[in-house]
């Protein structure tokens, strides 16, 4: 029997065939295969008969009987029962569950990958920090969540593009330019003339020194050389933006995050995309003039009030280039777009979607999707850490990476639901204890690696192991956990929730550690030895696969 790598998908296919035979006119019905809360109710349950009762005008139990009768034969199904009003409970054979060990070992790094994305294009925008200073821990959370989400979507079969969008003009960049210029002239933040909105971090002095030394920086395919002229504000602006973009990229590389596309807000203006979008919105009939300003009637699309597009001074409000930018994404062929941003962007969602609907460009309602993350509080020695010497007023992402390492930083920032407040405890992240989830998971992998190294046998022997002897409670729990992994990937991709992978890995590690503490692996009985080694090798493979999605390493020694 060849191993089934995704029982849920296998059962969905079987019930789809059964549905076409029983009710071909209802073949579009949603087939939900779920794990029952009670083991006595089987391994999987399907409520299809309940769904079909009303359109077919039959009792759910009668429909359930017909579906079961038409269900194609499968080696993985032990029995099928009807429960309650018409739920269909499916019991998987013990042999099929045991054989998942071979399936994992054969699939290797591909185990857990599903095909729900079907190669469709999805663009994920994340971090998108303006180049006014080092990345802070909030950007770090966005980087961790966004990058892990991209990995999960890829594993779910989507064609993923990672995108970084930033503003290289406007008030913040003006403040940056002035701050660097003052530093070039020897004026410090302690001087009474220092502007209140100026940037005070030590990094401003670093930029000024590099500019005055006529250094060349490379960022986003640009090569910018400092002029050394403290009076040339425009040259300082270009240099400062490039310098800080380079610094952000260095931080992101240390965080193992890379992007496919970089987009600049200024390009939307120079390429005429903002003006084109405004003309289209005016032509759509959803705009009006009032108080010397141009308004978009966003209330037509669910907003609580209309929004100003063009102010009385002739400048556009910030959501207008956002609409132009997303129209450009739509034209680039992204069936789906996901924006991972801080929770302070919540107010932009309705107006951007309203602007896109007003364009009447065929863009679906609810496009794009948003994942918003909450703030991060950093603790050390039980006290909140608020400042960094380099940044001056906040904790930087690089501070965390230098303090606890990339692995712990990525895991801790991605392991909670983005919508929840996050407390990053530096002492916990550095501890080598079971309380530290990163250590706990990595230690499980290292333990397995050590046992396999002590054994010293060939991988082929594990592929041929007789797994029918894996029948203890510990082994059954591990087998079920391995079986669940593809479903975890599918659900994490569907819910845009990569933290579910972190939760799963912690549970898998817990199951393994319990097994390890209760069992011996290098026993005299060769049949039992190979079966147990094959099982833990499969566990190690899934830990590696899951940690790879989180961007965390799987060490063989600790």
Answer whether residue 3 shows pLDDT above 90.
no
Q: CA angle at residue 546 from 139 to 120, to 5 degrees?
A: 75
Dump pLDDT digits (tens) for 508-529.
999 999 999 999 999 999 999 9
CA gap 370, 125 in Å, rounded: 10
The band of 2, judged by pLDDT with boundaries at 50, 70 and 90, is: low
Dump pLDDT digits (tens) for 349-363.
999 999 999 999 999
Per-residue buried b or exposed e for 486-496, using 16+ beta carbons within 10 Å of the residue's own CB = bbbbbbbbeeb
Dump pLDDT digits (tens) for 229-241.
999 999 999 999 9
Answer whether residue 285 shows pLDDT above 70.
yes
Count each helix (H run) and each strand (E run) in the chain, helices first: 21, 17
- Min mean pLDDT across 99-103, 148-152, 165-169, 479-483 is at 165-169
The band of 420, judged by pLDDT with boundaries at 50, 70 and 90, is: very high
CA 457 to the chain's CA centroid: 37
pLDDT at 27: 86
Q: What is the DSSP string of 172-212?
A: HHHHHHHHHHHHHTT--TTSTTS-TTS--SHHHHHHHHHHH
Task: Name the residue among 54, 56, 60, 53 with its Cα closest to residue 87.
Answer: 60
Percent residues over pLDDT 70 in the chain: 99
Mean pLDDT of the 112-135 span: 96
Bridge partners (DSSP) listed for residue 122: 160, 336
pLDDT at 88: 96
CA gap 404, 431 in Å, rounded: 9
Dump pLDDT digits (tens) for 225-274.
999 999 999 999 999 999 999 999 999 999 999 999 999 999 999 999 99
Query: Are the CB atoms for 277 and 327 separated by under 8 Å?
Result: yes
Residue 348: count other Cβ atoms within 10 Å of its Cβ: 15
pLDDT at 169: 82
Answer whether residue 534 shows pLDDT above 60.
yes
Count, residues in the chain:
558
The band of 70, judged by pLDDT with boundaries at 50, 70 and 90, is: very high
pLDDT at 39: 81
- In which region does residue 57 sit, left (phi positive, over 0), alpha (psi from -120 to 50) or beta (all else)? left
Percent residues over pLDDT 90 in the chain: 92
Burial grade of 483 (CB within 10 A; 0-12, 13-18, 19 or more): buried
Q: What is the DSSP string of 356-372?
A: HHHTTSSPPTTPSEEEE
CA gap 553, 188 in Å, rounded: 43
pLDDT at 377: 96
Task: Name the residue among 269, 277, 271, 253 with its Cα closest to residue 127.
Answer: 253
Dump pLDDT digits (tens) for 194-225.
999 999 999 999 999 999 999 999 988 789 99
Residue 36: count other Cβ atoms within 10 Å of its Cβ: 15
Answer whether residue 158 shows pLDDT above 80.
yes
pLDDT at 316: 93
Dump pLDDT digits (tens) for 296-314.
999 999 899 999 999 999 9
**φ and ψ at residue 296, rounded to 5 degrees:** -105, 130
Answer whether residue 85 shows pLDDT above 90.
no
Mean pLDDT of the 10-21 span: 95
CA gap 475, 233 in Å, rounded: 68
Residue 282: count other Cβ atoms within 10 Å of its Cβ: 15
Q: Going from the N-terminus, what domains does the chain have, and what CATH number goes with each?
A: 7-92 (3.30.1360.70), 100-117+435-550 (1.10.730.10), 171-254 (no CATH)
pLDDT at 1: 46
SS3 387: coil
Chain mean pLDDT for the chain: 95
């Amino acid at each position: 029997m060849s191993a089934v790598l995704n029982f849920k998908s296998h059962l969905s296919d079987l019930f789809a065939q059964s549905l076409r035979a029983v009710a071909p006119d209802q073949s579009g019905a949603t087939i939900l295969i779920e794990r029952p809360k009670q083991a006595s109710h089987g391994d999987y349950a399907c409520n299809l008969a309940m769904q079909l009762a009303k359109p077919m005008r039959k009792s759910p139990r009668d429909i359930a009987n017909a579906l079961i009768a038409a269900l194609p034969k499968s080696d993985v199904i032990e029995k099928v029962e009807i429960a309650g009003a018409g739920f269909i409970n499916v019991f998987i054979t013990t042999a099929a569950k045991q054989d998942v060990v071979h399936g994992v070992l054969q699939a290797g790094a591909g185990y857990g990958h599903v095909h729900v994305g079907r190669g469709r294009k999805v663009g994920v925008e994340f971090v998108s920090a303006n180049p006014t200073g080092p990345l802070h821990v909030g950007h770090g959370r966005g980087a961790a969540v966004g990058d892990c989400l991209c990995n999960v979507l890829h594993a779910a079969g989507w064609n993923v593009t990672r995108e970084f969008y930033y503003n290289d003009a406007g008030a913040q960049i003006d403040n940056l330019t002035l701050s660097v210029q003052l530093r070039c002239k020897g004026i410090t933040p302690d001087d009474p003339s220092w502007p209140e909105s100026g940037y005070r971090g030590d990094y401003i002095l670093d930029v000024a020194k590099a500019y005055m030394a006529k250094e060349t920086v490379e960022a986003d395919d640009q090569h910018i050389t400092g002029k050394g002229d403290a009076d040339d504000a425009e040259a300082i602006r270009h240099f400062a933006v490039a310098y800080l973009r380079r610094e952000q990229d260095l931080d992101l590389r240390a965080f193992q995050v890379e992007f496919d596309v970089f987009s600049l807000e200024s390009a939307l203006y120079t390429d005429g995309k903002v003006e084109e979008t405004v003309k289209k919105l005016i032509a759509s009939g959803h705009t009006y003039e009032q108080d010397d300003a141009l308004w978009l009637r966003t209330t037509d699309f669910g907003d609580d009030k209309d929004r100003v597009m063009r102010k009385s001074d002739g400048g556009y409000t910030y959501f207008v280039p956002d609409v132009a930018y997303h129209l450009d994404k739509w034209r680039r062929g992204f069936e789906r777009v996901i924006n991972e941003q801080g929770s302070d962007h919540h107010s932009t969602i309705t107006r951007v979607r309203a602007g896109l609907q007003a364009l009447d460009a065929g863009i679906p309602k609810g496009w794009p999707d948003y994942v918003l993350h909450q703030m991060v509080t950093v603790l050390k020695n039980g006290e909140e850490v608020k400042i960094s010497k380099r940044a001056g007023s906040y904790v930087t992402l690089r501070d965390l990476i230098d303090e606890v390492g990339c692995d712990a930083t990525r895991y801790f920032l991605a392991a909670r639901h983005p919508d929840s407040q996050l407390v990053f405890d530096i002492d916990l992240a550095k501890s080598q204890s079971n309380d530290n989830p990163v250590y706990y998971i990595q230690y499980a992998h290292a333990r397995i690696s050590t046992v396999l190294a002590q054994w010293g046998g060939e991988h082929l022997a594990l592929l041929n192991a007789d797994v029918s002897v894996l029948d203890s409670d510990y082994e059954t729990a591990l087998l079920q956990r391995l079986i669940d992994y593809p479903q975890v990937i599918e659900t994490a991709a569907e819910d845009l929730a990569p933290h579910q992978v972190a939760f799963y890995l912690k549970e898998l590690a817990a199951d393994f550690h319990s097994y390890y503490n209760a069992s011996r692996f290098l026993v005299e009985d060769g049949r039992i030895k190979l079966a147990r080694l094959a099982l833990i090798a499969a566990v190690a493979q899934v830990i590696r696969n899951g940690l790879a999605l989180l961007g965390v390493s799987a060490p063989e020694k600790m």
